[in-house]
């Protein structure tokens, strides 16, 4: 698996965790 794919997956996980923590999915999506 290419490294950048792993990196992107980790970023998506971070955004998802932030959204869950703050219950603010809209903001998390905008920050992507």
Domain borders along the chain are: 1-32
- Mean pLDDT for all residues in the chain: 75
Binned at pLDDT 50, 70 and 90, residue 30 comes out as confident
| Residue 7 CA, distance from chain mean position | 11
Q: What is the pTM of this model?
A: 0.43
DSSP-derived letter for residue 23 is T
Binned at pLDDT 50, 70 and 90, residue 3 comes out as confident
Give residue 32's pLDDT. 59
Residue 19 has pLDDT above 70, yes or no: no
CA–CA separation, 6 and 12 (whole Å): 10
């Amino acid at each position: 698996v290419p490294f950048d794919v792993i990196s992107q997956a980790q970023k998506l996980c971070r955004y998802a965790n932030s959204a869950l923590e703050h219950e603010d999915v809209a903001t998390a999506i905008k920050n992507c």
